[in-house]
Structure 1
């Protein structure tokens, strides 16, 4: 194989892969990607690193594990299907390697174009890497957002390398449409650099990386294999490594047969072909009959599976269970009861429950295997759990029922209690009756005031209907004032409203960078943000106003209302920048 490669060329990654339904091996070297058919002596597909425009990958749940390489040449692409038992890992190795190559090439392009190295922005041409997760086999198509992959990258999060951070950035842009539009407006519009854009979004990258690193547990759903119908009405079943793993975990007898016969006595394809023709596979499907041929392997597996489901599970030793949750420990205290156990709830007592018992046991055993595959098998018990009386007391003793001990306190000893209570009563001079005032006269005046008002407490008080009408009018008027007025989303066309929202978001983002760069050590960035604010004000806002005015006065007013807060903030920022520039000159003049 060494004669295939040029001098100084070395293979970094290789895997078994089909190209146009032909079997072969795909190689990744330090110079190119090459595919060699089985039995071939030289690559029939050879793509240099600099000729790769982008790449696509199939979804994790797709039937075929694919990767598609797009060349810079127009309408030229190559799709490879990985066929080994470790196809997903091999495909991901190729994807990571290609992503790193594309990212490094983008950095070199930014430096050559006079950029800032790893701070370079996106490229709308052929230099931007493209990665896509397709939801179905075949040739995947990238959306408008997926074509905007970030170009320059620095070292990855947690030292994971540039490809990991590149992937995290790209996935965030693909999942968040608003973030992708803001990235396009700011970075591709050359208002801020790539690093400045992501500097304030490190938490998003960390969260995305943490979520990607989490291992997803196996689904407990019962596997249901459904056939696919081809063009010639032939029925076929697609067996991926994930499907094979699920079948073997769901049916241990099939796994034992697989381990005994594959690949020494039967090929993998022949084994699964006989499985789909056996009684084992068709036993729980409608339309089954006695037409399935006899098969020593799967008939024996069927007998083992049925025997396993018929037998009751082994009794579990309860010695290690805590006494607080062990319900069997108090069983002797409940003999005398006004209720009797429901016999229909006892397993295997009725005809219906007897028929359902094998299916219930099969589900329970499968659920237990899924649980063990996630948390691992349970460790054998070393003996009964020691009885801890302190733990029992903490669980059953209520603090509210305990006798409360009086807290230690210092007794306040007051010699003259009369003076103490007088001081606590406050100023009582204002409550004294004025000199010369008779208390009887005060009570008489209060009684006269009460009787002259003619208040009849024993009769209901009727409210006039006119009062209700006035109250209702006031409520409706206040509700109308509280209702939000029609905003731009209701008055502007959807496309124009989206452009106005993007402009508003871009302006706020540039304002944030402007106020964060007011220190003297960031003078260059500060001046760049000033120019960006002027561009937003003079170009973007003006263009939106022209479009809105062409649609009528109502749309123009709505556009002004939407952009007024941002325009005011931009005007304040530009005034601050002008004042800051004029201060040094005034200082020199005064000196």
Structure 2
């Protein structure tokens, strides 16, 4: 890609051309007849003022890039092609996206990923919004850090990918219902004169799956001979809809069903490619899929074949909606010419033998991995070890028998491991805590000593601290940690030559840390006199963290 890129871009419904250079971008509006000169001045954006970019997905109807600039300003560019082709517009947009990402990385900003995953992923945006709505503390931090312009959106969420992953795991796609659609519930009015049926796309699709004749009738009647409303009205009025309870009536749908049966006579499908014959309702003792000696039966001898086929279609639809249509005898062309579908090879898991099908491989003994056998001339020496007080060369060590050596080895393995000194005692922790409290800022030495003694002995429990103060300490803890984390991050970037953008963000964060320090001072001064000596030391660690920016 060249260092300079020129593209047709529409900004605020105004066509123009944008030029991407090494220093920034410049958009110039196209001249229009009758428009006064200077009505649409050019837009110049240096790369140092661009914080990040967001792009529309490839399935979007518009090829767009949204640049987030300093001081919460934005610039939205819609890429167009001279030929009007959307594919060409997306190609130019991808080139511009990669060029912008490279320029942002060179200027120390956080560029976008130059892959198919865009920063403005609609799913991730919904997950972020759900997290902010469910967590008031996180929303407050987002408002103070991002909306105030301290850091970018991506900087804020970079360390919270685990929260987004947890939110994504909560959202699962709902499966298809396993209820059999035998009769839809109708809504009757008070007088009983009007019956209403509520249909949606899922219910209509399920009707077409369970009743292929209805789908054939829909293709043949709508919209040439009747409207969709008239078609569904005729369906619910027909005896075909209520044939599970009544039989012997003919209507439009039964004619299409007869046509379906007629055309499916020459079509053969091996059901083993769709349904396991061990659970398939049609795989009976007379089925050639299990027993090749099949006895031909007519529909009069097997009147339940239609109902069984409906259950099989519904089962395939529930287990895998994408493969539900395989049980329908699909025909190519308008004439629905008869054809013999190719026999699919049964899957490896579908076995005709009941014993082979029910034999579970994971319950069998696994074969041992290959290994080189260990051959020893004297097996007793394998269990020997130097005893205390013996020579290193083993001259004084007596030769043990195999049984004695095995007993010594087992006793060594069973000997308990002493871990008494593995962890320090709690006394050390209380001593450190008492020293911190004693050295804290307090107006009375005696009060400090008293509070230190109370904390060290554990007499001051958490329930003695006011709940309002607990909330304030909790919020201050998260705010100070967030500021300190970004301060250390941008300080390292500036030390490595991160550029003016990183230095600008660092200065903003230092300024925010100073205001946070003043806020803690006001909070400490607002404490009641009788609680000041006990609660003020809890705020001292925050002061020490904020002082890192001014040391």
Structure with the larger helix share: 1
Higher relative contact order (CA 8 A, sep 6+): 2
Instruction: Answer yes or no: same fold by TM over 0.5.
Output: no
